[in-house]
Structure 1
Amino acid sequence: MSLLLDALKKSGDKKQEGTGLSNLTLEDVPPSRTASAPSNASSRAAGEAMFAAKKKKSTSGGWKLGLVPTTLLIAVVLGSGYGYYVWLQIQPPAQPRVAQRTAPPPAPFVVAPIAPAAPALVPFIPPQPPQERPAPAQPVQPLVTARNEDFDAPRNKPQAARTYNTRPATGITVQRKVETDTVTPALLDAYQAYQRGDYTTATQGYREVLSKDPHNRDALLGLAAIAQQQGEDETAQRYYRQLLALDPRDPVAEAALMNYSPDSGNSESRLKLMLTDQPRSAALHFALANYYAGISSWGDAQQYYFNAHTLEPSNPQFTFNLAVSLDHLGQRKLAAQYYQQALQLDTSGNSGFDHAQAQHRLNELTSAK
Structure 2
Amino acid sequence: MAIDVTALRAHFPSLDHGLAFFDGPGGTQTPRPVGEAIAETLTGPLSNRGTISPSELNAERSVTEFRAAYADLLNMPADAIVHGRSATQLTYDTARVLARGWGAGDEIVVSRLDHDCNVRPWVQAAEHAGATVRWIEIEPETAELDLESYERVLSPRTRLVAVTAASNVLGTKPPLRRIADRAHEVGALLYVDGVHYAAHHLVDVPALGADLFVCSPYKFLGPHCAVLTGAPEVLESLRPDKLLPSPDTVPERFEFGTLPYEILAGARAAVDFLAAVDPGAGTSRRERLTSSLGSLHAHELALRTRLEEGIRGLGDAVTLHSKAQDRTPTLLMTLEGRDPREAQIHLAARSVLATAGQFYAYEPFTALKLEGPALRVGLAPYNTADEVDRLLEGLADFLRPTT
TM over 0.5: no
Compare the two structures and name the one with the higher helix fraction: 1
Which protein has greater RCO, CA pairs closer than 8 Å, 6+ apart?
2
Larger radius of gyration: 1
